[in-house]
Amino acid sequence: MKPKIAPKELQPESFEFSKESQKEVEYHLKKYPEGHKMSAVMPMLDIAQRQEGWISEAAMNEIARQLDCPPIKVFEVATFYSMYHLAPVGKYHLQLCTTTPCWLRGSGKLKKVIEKKLGLKSAKEVTKDGLFSYEEVECLGACVNAPVCQVNNENYHEDLDEKEFENLLEDLKAGKDVKHGSVIGRVCSMQATGATVLEEQAKKAGVKIDDGKGA
């Protein structure tokens, strides 16, 4: 998908890392010898995004300055990965997986919940209150726990149905602390029914069998 880049009128004239962010930047820069500082470009982009919520052209220019490289090199990386937001997004950015396993398990219904509850229909559109934005993404790597929605590039919410997803959106809107992971108490990617194979072998080896009801 072609990345959405903020228009000129939304681009700030300048960007500066905060003192705390700059310490993180320097931590990553020290990992690499002279001539190889470009290897720090991805964490630097992430730091800028965590600070501002998105990555502006001014931020990319500042990163390029510190890496001593042409700005286009930073721009190439930022536009390649969908985890970098090159336009403002909501406080809660929803990334709904619509790859086959999630789609077969109901992510299409979750998409309709987003349209109904939030009024969002297109990628990275932002609600009027600035709280939510949304995009469809490819596999998040938790297919057993489908359907999955990731929030703010971090927390996975798994085994969702329409009601649980509506509850999640309502809790986020209310500013509540929400629990991430499986909504049905699944342990990691274990079968929802708990351990069902190799139990005897595990017991003989002295391994405690988890009942699959969650930790």
**Side chain identity at residue 35, one-letter code:** G
Domain boundary among 80, 110, 136: 80
Q: What angle do CA 53, 98, 187 make, to 5 degrees?
A: 85
For residue 212, pLDDT beyond 60: no
Query: Distances from the Cα of 91 to the Cαs of 80, 106, 114, 127, in angstroms?
Result: 23, 25, 15, 10
**pLDDT > 90 in the chain, percent:** 74
Per the structure, the complete domain to which residue 61 belongs is given by: 8-80
For residue 1, pLDDT beyond 60: no
Specify whether the backbone of 124 is left (phi greater than 0), alpha (psi in -120 to 50) or beta: left
Same domain, 48 and 121: no
Per residue in 11-21, is it b (16+ CB within 10 Å) or e — as a string?
A: eeeebebeeeb
Same domain, 122 and 156: yes
For residue 14, pLDDT beyond 90: yes
Number of separate domains in the chain: 2
Write down the pLDDT at residue 47. Answer: 98
CATH number (domain holding residue 104): 3.40.30.10
Q: What is the pTM of this model?
A: 0.78
pLDDT digits (tens, 9 = 90+) for 85-100: 999 999 999 999 999 9
- Mean pLDDT of the 32-51 span: 95
Q: Quote the DSSP letter at residue 9.
A: G
pLDDT digits (tens, 9 = 90+) for 151-161: 998 899 999 99
pLDDT band per the 50, 70, 90 thresholds, residue 215: very low
Task: Identify whether 199 is part of a domain.
Answer: no
For residue 8, pLDDT beyond 70: yes
